[in-house]
Structure 1
Amino acid sequence: MRFSLFKSVGLSWLLAAPVTSALAQQVPKPAADTLHKYERPATGLGAVEKKSFFQSKGFRASIIPAVLIGYGVSTINGHGFYSSYQAHDDIRRVFGDYRNHADNYLQFAPYLELGGVLLAGVKSRNDRVNLGLVILKSELIMVTSVYIVKFATNIDRPDGTPTAFPSGHTAQAFLAASILHTELRDKSQWYGIGAYTIATGVAALRMINDKHWESDVVAGAGFGIFSAHLGYLTHRYRWGHKPNETATLHVSPLYYAGATGLSLNWQLH
């Protein structure tokens, strides 16, 4: 009897082994996760990776204006590396008594360039409404900041008239150039190169015409660029775009308590 029991158990095991092996071969293996293999493992609450300060929009928008304004301040009068007095002496030695009034008009030339390009059919980064609002906001920032600093510092110009620092003409020219560059840089970098060349020419003419010191025009360029950047950074783009929402209206007959009518169902998607 013991032999029969061992024999039965052994036979059952021999019969079950192939079945178990076959079932094991039929079970599909889980597919390899190829969608997330290159993702950085999530760490911390919410697994949100923050950019460093040097990668932030605020730092990138302010670093160049800060350098320009800082250098301009450092060269006021006879101070700093290649001071305003030194630059003035060199300019007068080269240009003498030469004067012209082209800078009064060239300060707005980048805007004329932008308008001409848009009229030619080139699409800007923003629609016309938002572009106009950015320009208006940037102009208000520039004019307010420049004139506050002008009257706070009260530095005389090379020709003896007051409120030299910073140069409003130069700030205006670089503000317009920065907006043009931002709006059209995806189309061609040459638009921005042309605008900044004009703005640099305005800065040079302000010194040649004996209206500003070197410190005034360098800092003015910084004020203009920063005003444009600040105008873009603070804009919410709520105007000039069609809403993405769509609405549907369903009308169906209604019968209730012996009265007939219509049922209106309005849904916003």
Structure 2
Amino acid sequence: MFSRYIITLALLLPLGSPLSQAVAQVPQTTIPADTIHKFQNPTGVSSGTRKPFYRSKLFRASVVPAVLIGYGISTINGHGFYSSYDAHRDITRAFGPGPHTRVDDFLQFVPYFELGGVLLAGVESHNDRVNLGLVILKSEAIMLASVYTVKMLTRIDRPSGAATAFPSGHTAQAFMAASIVHTELRDKSQWYGIGAYAVATSVAALRMVNEKHWQSDVLAGAGFGILSAHLAYLSHRNRWGRKPIGRDVGMVPIWSPSGGTGVSLSWRPR
């Protein structure tokens, strides 16, 4: 502060005056550089604390699938508190020997139809169409590779006697699709995800009622399906199709006295 006043006074005095020469001869004080703390925060940005592992995205995405897969493994054959043999005995006693229906072969894809119908109705998903399609393709690839690799490695027989029971591919497919529906539409309403998971649970139950899978197979299948969808989202970076495609798709029922009933499908691409 003092040195600044001296410099200002020197500028105001005429050159060559005795007072200006005296001011010029006053020694300037310099502030020593801080060399003690120069490496402690060089950017000036406060360093953030590292989050514990249980709050990481990977842990939260894998904890539920890990519980399902782990519990399924613990009930293989006659093992566990309530084993797959115990569950099969009770199901056969309640519904009789299967198979009973093939509706589960088609029901596993119903969550996808739910997602498509909601999007056609004009509800916006979390991702645009391009990124949503890429997430679905990546989820399918992860699920198919993991499920059928484990099938080939375990080779556990089904209740009907056929091979490759563990884990259930139908259940994995249904729960993977339900997870995608929940992730894409949970900001709009939680009921979309609840309906999709209810359908997936029905697929798991029917696989046991039809004697296609054990309890351990459907539990692990649900875990593999959910984990596949979560890994696809965690590894996706939204680098493609940043502009929305097909956001303005709408479907409206119409009626006229001369033409009867119908459906009007409109699309205004941006």
Task: State TM-score, norm by structure 1.
Answer: 0.73
Q: Deviations over 1:207-266 (max 9, x none)?
A: 000000000000000000000000000011100114xxxxxxxxxxxxxxxxxxxxxxxx
The structural deviation recorded for 1:115 is 0.1
Q: Which amino acid aligns with 1:78?
A: G
- 1:49 is aligned to 49
Q: Which amino acid aligns with 1:198?
A: V
| 1:1-269 mapped onto 2 (5 Å cutoff) | 46-98=46-98, 99-242=100-243
Count the aligned residue pairs: 200
Q: Which amino acid aligns with 1:178?
A: S
CA distance in 2, matches of 1:50, 1:118: 39
Gaps of 5+ in 2: 1-39, 244-270
Task: State TM-score, norm by structure 2.
Answer: 0.73
The structural deviation recorded for 1:47 is 1.3
Q: Percent identity?
A: 73
| SS, match of residue 97 in structure 2 | coil
| SS, match of residue 47 in structure 1 | coil
CA distance in 2, matches of 1:58, 1:163: 29
Q: Which amino acid aligns with 2:177?
A: A
CA distance in 1, matches of 2:220, 2:81: 15
| SS, match of residue 82 in structure 1 | coil
CA distance in 2, matches of 1:122, 1:91: 40
After TM superposition, the runs of 4+ consecutive aligned structure 1 residues lying more than 3 A away are: none
The structural deviation recorded for 1:97 is 2.8
Alignment root-mean-square deviation, CA: 1.3
| SS, match of residue 77 in structure 1 | coil
CA distance in 2, matches of 1:109, 1:76: 28
Instruction: Name the larger-Rg structure.
Output: 1
CA distance in 2, matches of 1:175, 1:119: 21
CA distance in 1, matches of 2:237, 2:194: 28
The structural deviation recorded for 1:51 is 1.4
CA distance in 1, matches of 2:208, 2:157: 13
Q: Deviations over 1:2-33 (max 9, x none)?
A: xxxxxxxxxxxxxxxxxxxxxxxxxxxxxxxx
Q: Which amino acid aligns with 1:128?
A: R
| SS, match of residue 226 in structure 2 | helix
Gaps of 5+ in 1: 1-43, 243-269
